[in-house]
């Protein structure tokens, strides 16, 4: 791989600490005079195509306690599998769908919730398609480098079984940690475990 000299390497990461909200979600922590709304709080800016879903969950530490200071960001394709990004060259994403969401977990319960749409399939580098998935990034006190994971869907068995990344993981018990579980129509639960026997799969991407 390309060798990057120390002085040009990516700036090293440091923990977001417990007060990430001040900078990234100020309205959430009661700082209401500066930004009209918190960035990423709405992923839909009008009527959107596809199935509307909510994804909710909790992040648990190694003692089984919920993280109450964490912030998550998600990034995903629209229902046709297109990204709302200049790097998207295959077509035009749903203009009312940003694809990007940011959510601070509830300070008392640790619960997070995203109102979004179910993504379509997106290309894999080997020419096949990836199963529908949402990219997830987690920061909190005690997390030194933001954690990258993905939420796949429990009701997409066929696509999941041919997904190159899930196949690379192989172990069905570990794959299960990446599944958002369908509770009822349009509602999925996605819990994240930082440690323990059902530790979520995290990616180096």
* 205 near other proteins (CB under 8 A): yes
Residues 149-168, one symbol each (x = binds Fe ion by CB under 5 A, - = not), give --------------------
* 169 near other proteins (CB under 8 A): yes
Q: How buried is 124 (Cβ within 10 angstroms: 0-12 exposed, 13-18 middle, 19+ buried)?
A: middle
Query: Between 24 and 53, whose beta carbon lies closer to other proteins?
Result: 24
Residues 200 and 179: their CA atoms lie apart, in Å, by 10
Render 159-195 in DSSP notation, one character per residue. Answer: HHHT-HHHHHH--HHHHHTTEEEEEETTEEE--EESS
* 9 near other proteins (CB under 8 A): yes
Q: What is the per-residue burial (b if ≥16 Cβ within 10 Å, else e) of 33-58? A: eeeeebebeebeeeebeeeebebbbb
Applying the rule CB under 8 A, the residues between 93 and 112 that interact with other proteins are 98-100, 107
* 23 near Fe ion (CB under 5 A): no
Applying the rule CB under 8 A, the residues between 14 and 53 that interact with other proteins are 14-24, 26, 29-31, 33-35, 39
Interacting residue with other proteins among 137, 154, 162, 176 (CB under 8 A): 137
* 17 near Fe ion (CB under 5 A): yes
**Binding residues for other proteins, how many (CB under 8 A)?**
83
Query: Between 164 and 186, whose beta carbon lies closer to other proteins?
Result: 164
- Straight-line distance from the first to the last Cα atom of the chain, in angstroms, rounded to the nearest whole number: 15
Strand spans (E) along 2-119: 52-60, 71-75, 100-104, 111-117
* 141 near other proteins (CB under 8 A): yes
Which spans of this chain sit near Fe ion (rule: CB under 5 A)?
17
């Amino acid at each position: 791989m390309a060798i990057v000299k120390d002085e040009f390497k990516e700036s090293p990461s440091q923990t977001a600490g417990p007060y990430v909200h001040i900078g990234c979600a100020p309205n959430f922590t009661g700082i209401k005079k500066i930004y009209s709304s918190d960035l990423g709080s709405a992923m839909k800016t009008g009527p959107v195509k596809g199935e509307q879903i909510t994804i909710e969950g909790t992040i648990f530490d190694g003692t089984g306690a919920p993280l109450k200071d964490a912030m998550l960001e998600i990034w995903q394709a629209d229902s046709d599998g297109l990204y709302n990004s200049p790097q998207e060259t295959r077509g035009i994403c749903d203009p009312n769908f940003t694809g990007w969401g940011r959510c601070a977990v509830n300070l008392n319960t640790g619960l997070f919730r995203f109102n979004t749409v179910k993504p379509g399939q997106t290309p894999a580098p080997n020419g096949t398609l990836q199963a529908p998935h949402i990219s997830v990034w987690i920061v909190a006190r005690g997390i030194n480098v933001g954690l990258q994971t993905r939420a796949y869907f429990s009701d997409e068995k066929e696509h999941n079984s041919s997904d190159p990344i899930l196949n690379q993981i192989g172990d069905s018990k570990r794959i299960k940690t990446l599944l958002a579980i369908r509770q009822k129509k349009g509602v999925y639960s996605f819990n994240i475990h930082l440690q323990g026997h059902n530790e979520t799969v995290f990616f180096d991407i």
